[in-house]
Structure 1
Amino acid sequence: MASIKKRGEYQWRVRVEKINRATGLVHKESATHNTKAEAMNWAKGVEAALAEGRYNDTRVIDSTYLRELIERYKKNVSPKKLGSKQEIVRLEKWLKSDLADRIVSRCTARDFADYIEKRRGDVSKRGGHVAEQTIKLEIIAISNVFEIARKDWGYKELENPTRDISKPKGSGMREVRIEPKNWERIADILRKCRNPQYIVIAEFAIETGMRQDELFRMCWKDVDLLGRKVIVEGKDTSTTGQRKKRTVPLSMRAIELLQSLPRSINGSDPIFQVARKTSADGLSRAFTGACKAIGLEGGCFHSTRHEAASRMAPHYPMLTLMKIFGWKTPAMAARYYHASDEELLAGIDRMQQLVAQSA
């Protein structure tokens, strides 16, 4: 609200104060004019500029540490995402870095480029170098923090320094397949685990291509055994917490696996945690250990999704396959579909048969 006072015969003092509701800061502007009309026009112009965000008020970003934004994002945004656990782990990594104690307005692209180079020199838990995909996901996580702060939290003057760096390319096509001969050996190892659900979940994953998080969220109310389908809540990268749903068809083997499991009275209970508490971490360790035991280098639980995509791809149109797996672009599908040599030869044989029949 503008305050105008006459200070002399030809002096009108005008003062404008406006609260930035997003940050809680009060923006103050003042000036002196020869007439009251000039003072009123100036005040209207300032108020309009403040309302439209055309005044550069950097006080809030000059007094905020990156740690504060990360903590706020971790508390209010990450829990609404399907992959919240993984993102929080990446944010914890940032909280341990020196950049966390830097004023956000002083964070530069060079800082994050240096972070990438430093991470490339770190040793992973497995003993090798940190994977490019791991570093890429860490950069994406901190970039999301900057973007949400800028768009939703009133930090309009905040720049996202990660926009101006060359990001790691990450993983390309997933080439590790769990072909039938490998699956039988992995299955034998999983059957010997203390938790009998490991083998069921792993085989169900290959039959459906569902992500691990989706499998552990799946409830009986989501399953239609007669219609042979399951409604899956997919990934959500927004702040609304409303995940997109998709329909995944169930093979006869997938139906058999579900029917072999105990069923709770409450349809909202997770299917794979009815009989006993089954953890995603425990399943991942068991599956990765089984892959190592048979010499399948690079194999992990997510390889089941790759195998499912490679098996389904020859039988579905691209757009249908994208809907089943929850992919947004054909490029994402290309990362997962990897035909074996036998499948390529079989395709050539089918083509030759069709040509011969049409001749």
Structure 2
Amino acid sequence: MMHETKEMTLGEGLILYRQKISILKKGYVQESYRIASLLKSRHASKKMRDFRSPDIATIRDERLAQINSRTGTCISPSTVRLEMSLLSNLFDVGRIEWGVCDSNPVTNVRKPKAAPGRDRRLTAREERQILRYCHAHPTADLYVLVVLAIETAMRQGELLKLEWEHINLQRRIAHLPDTKNGSKRDVPLSLKARDALIQLGAKTKGQVFSYTANGLKSAWRIMLQRLGIEDLHFHDLRHEACSRLFELGTLDIMEIAAISGHKSLAMLKRYTHLKAAKLVKKLEGNKHRGQQVVISHLVPYPAVANQTPAGVVVRVLDFEGIVGRGATAEQALQSAQDALLRHLMVSLRDKRPIPAPDQYLEQVDDSEIIMLDPLCLSTAQGTPTGLTLF
């Protein structure tokens, strides 16, 4: 007697897949969103057994042409690639375990080209703006979350699931018993990360943070809007942390992978975008190291000039109290240049930290900014050369 052939539509298969397969995954919530999108397709009512490769290609092309209601732009190739991977897994399960199709029609269909990995780095000014905002935020968790993300390279989900019983402040270790890739790991805490945790008031047990994923997403979005920072994701802090670990120059790639939790070194490379400024120092090696240290700090800094009843005042924006005054603009600029040079040299002598240019938080019209070079020469009339508009 012939066995009855099972029939199942794509929509029914997706729903069953969500109930039986997706529910077991750490990325269940994200995969549920992808399934919900595919269930809206006009192909959801078609039987899985009747799908051929051209049908999958049509779904791919239709999705690529759709507009994302949230962003107002086309659905990203990365999103469609993930949906195609989901469909491929569904058809494999349907063929092997459920007997509702005879082959996997996704196998031979081209996936959209993967978008290049994000290389967004956090600028010094953005970091200062964000930390100042978070420090003043009524929820202390936000500041500590940002500090830990930058200092430890932990994922957002790992941070939000941190428990006090897994944190050893004395040894400066945070234990992660359950991570995205399924393995546990211990994350070293820098002094800055440890001190940030202590500010919360260390406990013996319970969740470290009260934020949910949606709550943090909302707080992050509101903060960026108020600060006027564009195109910065919370996950970019992990990019930044990994890049900084490489830039230390004291850790090899396997040690960094142990900290960040990357199983694939290729993936770790995608997260790491070294700053060219760090590489310049390596090019010189140990030659003239003292000279390199001095010259690297004697660079132009942004300043603004204002006319007052008493004359012209020039303020260097990255420093408190570095001001030049004069009856004319030329005299005020020369005075500010001398004050800047003197401050930089005294700071180097006393081994005090010197901020890199363009870290000021003051709101200034870019058109009014001038770049003040501490090493520029003066003309016979006293006007500094090398003074350029920002």
Aligned twin of 1:343: 278
Q: 1:181 to 1:132 in 2, by over 3 A?
A: same
Task: Provide structure 1 residue ranges, at least 5 long, that are not aligned to the other structure.
Answer: 1-27, 30-56, 237-242, 355-359
Aligned twin of 1:15: none
Aligned twin of 1:84: 28
Q: 1:76 to 1:288 in 2, by over 3 A?
A: same
Q: Is the 8 A contact 1:207 1:251 kept in 2?
A: yes
Aligned twin of 1:130: 75
Q: For 2:194, give the aligned amino acid.
A: I
Q: Is the 8 A contact 2:9 2:48 kept in 1?
A: yes
Q: 1:245 to 1:92 in 2, by over 3 A?
A: same
Aligned twin of 2:208: 271
Moved more, 125-134 or 250-259: 125-134
Aligned twin of 2:239: 306
Residues paired across the two proteins, number: 285
How far does residue 192 in structure 1 lie from its aligned partner after superposition?
Answer: 5.0
Aligned twin of 2:214: 281
Aligned twin of 2:171: 227
* Bigger proportion of residues as helix: 1
CA distance in 1, matches of 2:153, 2:163: 17
Please tell me whether residue 165 in structure 1 is matched to residue 109 in structure 2.
Answer: yes
CA distance in 1, matches of 2:41, 2:90: 15
Task: Provide structure 2 residue ranges, at least 5 long, that are not aligned to the other structure.
Answer: 290-390
Which of 260, 270, 276 matches 1:325? 260
- Aligned pairs (5 A) from 1:120-269: 120-124=64-68, 125-151=70-96, 153-155=97-99, 158-232=102-176, 233-236=178-181, 243-263=182-202, 267=205, 269=206
Please tell me whether residue 71 in structure 1 is matched to residue 71 in structure 2.
Answer: no
Q: 1:123 to 1:258 in 2, by over 3 A?
A: same
Q: 1:58 to 1:218 in 2, by over 3 A?
A: farther
Q: 1:340 to 1:159 in 2, by over 3 A?
A: same
Q: For 2:278, give the aligned amino acid.
A: E
CA distance in 1, matches of 2:4, 2:285: 66
| Deviation sequence 1:191-250 (CA, Å, 0-9, x none) | 4545332222122111111111111122122222222222222224xxxxxx21122211
CA distance in 2, matches of 1:58, 1:295: 63
Aligned-pair Cα RMSD in Å: 2.6
CA distance in 1, matches of 2:59, 2:137: 40
Aligned twin of 2:5: 59
> Normalized against structure 1, the TM-score is what?
0.71
Residue identity (%)? 28
Stretches (4+) displaced over 6 A? none
Q: 1:79 to 1:59 in 2, by over 3 A?
A: same
How far does residue 103 in structure 1 lie from its aligned partner after superposition?
Answer: 0.9
How far does residue 111 in structure 1 lie from its aligned partner after superposition?
Answer: 2.1
How far does residue 65 in structure 1 lie from its aligned partner after superposition?
Answer: 1.6
> Normalized against structure 2, the TM-score is what?
0.66
Aligned twin of 1:316: 251
CA distance in 2, matches of 1:70, 1:144: 10
How far does residue 293 in structure 1 lie from its aligned partner after superposition?
Answer: 5.1
Q: For 1:141, give the aligned amino acid.
A: L
**Higher RCO structure, 1 or 2 (CA under 8 Å, sep 6+):** 1
